[in-house]
Structure 1
Amino acid sequence: MIEVGTKAFWRATLAMSLGSFLIFANLYFTQPLLPMLASEFGVSPLTASYSFTLSTLMLGVSLLLYGPLSDALGRRAIMLTTMVGAVGCTLLLSQVHSFGALLALRALQGFFLGGLPAIAIAYMGDEMSRKALVSAVGFYISANSLGGICGRLLGGFLADTLGWQMGFAITGALSLVLLGVFAWLLPPSQQFVRQKLHPKQMVRDLVGHLKNRLLVVSYAIGGLNFFIFVNQYSFLTFRLSDAPYNLPARYLGLLFLTYLSGTLGSALSGKVSARFSQPVVMMMGIGLMVVGTLVSLGESISVIMLGFLFSAFGFFLCHANCSSWVSHNARHAKASASSLYLVFYYLGASLGGTYLAPFWHHGQWAGVVLGSLIILALTFSLCLLLRHWATAREGALVSN
């Protein structure tokens, strides 16, 4: 087993962090480009957003496939194969001349992008001691958010200075270099034990999770919060690219630096949940999202950014506790329970733009705020329901 501080530990941890960075940089690359793509291809904001949401949709669906496949075929081979496919799609995107081709490649890319997130923790769990795993996962999750931030920054800057097609070409070339380093650093699997595929058991596990009300409600909370949170950024790019702001893509990418407050929210989530029950911490996070959404109604860019700092902190505070809640309350097959949470999470990201589009069409940013508050009121209510069930369960345990 790989132990903390060894050469193998740092090689594996750096490899997984670089891989995570690559995946999420490529996933979120198009988000600051939405106004540019809408103008280039003459499509609506909602249609332009499909270049982002189709990728998240396919990523979410693929998570159910890659985990079981890796149990039977091996972790390393699937991670490398899918990452090659994802980078290949980025390079091909630099050559497209129609919006339909762009959407098709982004959907295919999303399917490939799911390979590493679905398998990464399982690979580290196979190869590392428990102490090493805890340490490595912290680096890995940090690379998730950094990859998303840098992908958006790079997308905005490259597209604004060299054009969106050249932006894909340069990102693809950089990703190819990172992929080579990933393949060189990642230690071969030593502890992996091949298992047979059991499709019927997989289905039974998933059905069992969907019958657990404590899990289903937490799936809905995580998915619906991301449904709003990530798509607010998409519509914000249209708001700030128009008068009176007229921000170019390079500055729109900078908006996503507000995600850094979310990194802090995730880091503090454990300490906060040590003092309050997890449903209460989730409600705190959603409350901060509500505050941030209302603050974003301000006219100045600094006030808008402040609002999104609040929202990002609150979202990740809730998300960290929601995903932890799933692990604690799954009665069996905890890995598939967590995978199912991520499926709802990414499905939320892919569908939220369609929900918010009519609000944007009829009320611009004020409409988006209204649509957001409706969903946040729903997720807050679901947290109250979780708190009631958890309290009732604890009371039953005490009485017994």
Structure 2
Amino acid sequence: MRGHTRNGSYRRVLFALGAVGMTTFAQLYYPQALIPAISRDLDVTAADAALTISGATVGLALAVLGWSWVADRFGRGPVLKVALIASVVLGLLVPFAPSFEVLIGLRVLQGVALGGTPALALTYLAEEVDRRDAMAAAGTYISGTVLGGLAGRLIAAPVSGLIDWRAGALVVAALTALGALLAVLLLPAARNFRRPARSGRGSLRAGVAASLKNPALLVLYAQAFLLMGAHVAMYNYLGYRLEQPPFDLAPAVTAVIFLAGLSGAVSARVTGRLASRYGRRPVLLWSSATMAAGAALTIPDWLPTVLLGLLIFTTAYFSAHTIASGWVGPTATTGTAQATSLYTLFYYAGSSLVGWLGGFAFDLGWTATATMLTAIVLTAFACVCMTLLGRRRLFGAVPTEIAAPLVRARPYGATRSQAVHL
């Protein structure tokens, strides 16, 4: 495929996609640092305050397939820009929400707008960047998502501590508006977009149906739902816990826990090398088991153990997610765009549902929360083990080309396409 190579146009793609990643994930996750402040100011429970995250992610999950259909008709670049601008406009309205109900409604709508950015950014990359440079370009986008999610939380928390949560939200919204403007101005026009021969609803339904009938993909979707849900629930409520006895940390200090997310930039690269050497399946299993161990380490009321457990949990999560998300493309036999979009749907559905349910466990104490997260992660682990141990039963009537990706792992770099979400 001819695409943007290492010239001025290629550098524009890198900067634009980096800005898209930062803007998208700063908007999506900054309220995690504000959950305790929102709970106090609006007099709602921790689970209700966490709806500022879950509302946005459920909106994203519901919208992602629709955005992929629109992009098939009108092109990746223009639709990506529209989605980005809409998300920023809604984000600027969030700090002025007059009630909790309006706040959640705006976050749901913002999530719907954000549904047009993660999958389309990677689809644009796959179509427009020369294959020799695609991995480097994807790495730039992924780094942008990590830094954006981290920056949004680290900026919102101290501003909230000094003024209030609305000021923290407004500062993040203003900064993401600048990032969106940069992305819109820099993103080059598409050179290689071709409208699919069948770009209507029929092709969308066919691609979705094929993906949902593929047992191997269902296992990967389970990983997305369960592991992402556990990851978001951990970060939704751990800061809340650290502001309470026996820790009694200030909001600006508890925001430091989000620095653990930087481990994802390291573990994703290491995971690629490990998977190339040992195969995807063993690395995915070890990562899930390590996540469970990290969650258990956060139970004691001793700050060093809590922080160590969080770091282990986060590092292992990004490793598991890198494997699962990169496995979707090679596993899909038809409708790759719909297969990756469904991964995104399950990914954010888990974020929404499990992230919200974690609040009810938190009402019983952190031990209940950590136990819930450990059980969820071990369920994901069991899904993979069951697939491997019972593959004849699971794949009995499935063609070899569908079953093969979960039975014989390809080298990690051999994926046809890759979708990574943070």
Question: Which range moves more in the overlay, 27-36 or 176-185?
Answer: 176-185
Question: How many Å separate the matches in 1 of 2:79 and 2:244?
Answer: 43
Contact 1:227–1:352 under 8 Å retained in 2: yes
Contact 1:2–1:132 under 8 Å retained in 2: no
Q: Which residue identity lines up with residue 213 of structure 1 in the other structure?
A: P
Partner of 1:143: 144
CA deviation string 1:51-78 (max 9, x = no partner)? 1111011111211111121110122221
Partner of 1:75: 76
> Cα offset for 1:390?
6.1
Partner of 1:331: 333
Question: Which range moves more in the overlay, 213-222 or 190-199?
Answer: 190-199
Partner of 2:284: 282
Question: How many Å separate the matches in 1 of 2:368 and 2:147?
Answer: 30
Partner of 2:412: none
Contact 1:156–1:253 under 8 Å retained in 2: yes
Structure 2 counterpart SS, 1:30: helix
Contact 2:246–2:301 under 8 Å retained in 1: no
Alignment of 1:84-123 (within 5 A): 84-123=85-124
Partner of 1:44: 45
Question: How many Å separate the matches in 1 of 2:224 and 2:177?
Answer: 32
Question: How many Å separate the matches in 1 of 2:281 and 2:217?
Answer: 12
Q: Does 1:189 align with 2:195?
A: no
Alignment of 1:55-66 (within 5 A): 55-66=56-67
Contact 1:2–1:8 under 8 Å retained in 2: no
> Cα offset for 1:117?
0.9
Partner of 2:265: 263
Q: Does 1:167 align with 2:168?
A: yes
Question: How many Å separate the matches in 2 of 1:147 and 1:203?
Answer: 33
Question: How many Å separate the matches in 1 of 2:162 and 2:40?
Answer: 16
| TM-score for both structures, normalised by structure 1 | 0.94
Partner of 2:347: 345
Partner of 2:126: 125
Partner of 1:305: 307
Q: Which residue identity lines up with residue 250 of structure 1 in the other structure?
A: A
CA deviation string 1:162-217 (max 9, x = no partner)? 32212222222222222222122111223222346321121121111111111101
Structure 2 counterpart SS, 1:187: coil
Question: How many Å separate the matches in 2 of 1:191 and 1:322?
Answer: 28
Q: Does 1:153 align with 2:154?
A: yes
Q: Which residue identity lines up with residue 114 of structure 1 in the other structure?
A: G
Partner of 2:294: 292
Contact 1:292–1:309 under 8 Å retained in 2: yes
Structure 1 counterpart SS, 2:96: coil
Contact 1:279–1:386 under 8 Å retained in 2: no
Unaligned runs of 5+ in 1: none
Structure 1 residue ranges (4+ consecutive) displaced by more than 4 angstroms after TM superposition: 389-394
Q: Which residue identity lines up with residue 216 of structure 2 in the other structure?
A: L
Partner of 1:220: 222
Q: Which residue identity lines up with residue 261 of structure 1 in the other structure?
A: S
Structure 1 counterpart SS, 2:354: helix
> Cα offset for 1:221?
1.7
Partner of 1:371: 372
Distance 1:46 1:252, change over 3 A: same
Alignment of 1:388-399 (within 5 A): 388=389
Q: Does 1:179 align with 2:156?
A: no
Structure 2 counterpart SS, 1:286: helix
Question: How many Å separate the matches in 2 of 1:141 and 1:386?
Answer: 29
Q: Which residue identity lines up with residue 311 of structure 1 in the other structure?
A: F
Structure 2 counterpart SS, 1:115: coil
Question: How many Å separate the matches in 2 of 1:354 and 1:140?
Answer: 28
Partner of 2:18: 17
Structure 2 counterpart SS, 1:29: helix
Alignment of 1:205-216 (within 5 A): 205-216=207-218
Contact 1:297–1:366 under 8 Å retained in 2: yes
> Cα offset for 1:11?
0.6
Structure 1 counterpart SS, 2:69: helix
Question: How many Å separate the matches in 1 of 2:252 and 2:360?
Answer: 27
Structure 1 counterpart SS, 2:334: coil
Question: How many Å separate the matches in 2 of 1:252 and 1:297?
Answer: 17
Q: Which residue identity lines up with residue 95 of structure 1 in the other structure?
A: F
Question: How many Å separate the matches in 2 of 1:97 and 1:198?
Answer: 40
> Cα offset for 1:388?
3.0
Partner of 2:419: none
Question: How many Å separate the matches in 1 of 2:360 and 2:179?
Answer: 40
Q: Which residue identity lines up with residue 38 of structure 1 in the other structure?
A: S
Distance 1:353 1:126, change over 3 A: closer
Question: How many Å separate the matches in 2 of 1:331 and 1:80?
Answer: 30
Unaligned runs of 5+ in 2: 396-402, 409-422
Structure 2 counterpart SS, 1:94: helix
> Cα offset for 1:305?
1.2
Question: How many Å separate the matches in 2 of 1:369 and 1:80?
Answer: 39
Q: Which residue identity lines up with residue 228 of structure 2 in the other structure?
A: F
> Cα offset for 1:285?
0.5
Partner of 1:243: 245
> Larger helix proportion, structure 1 or 2?
1
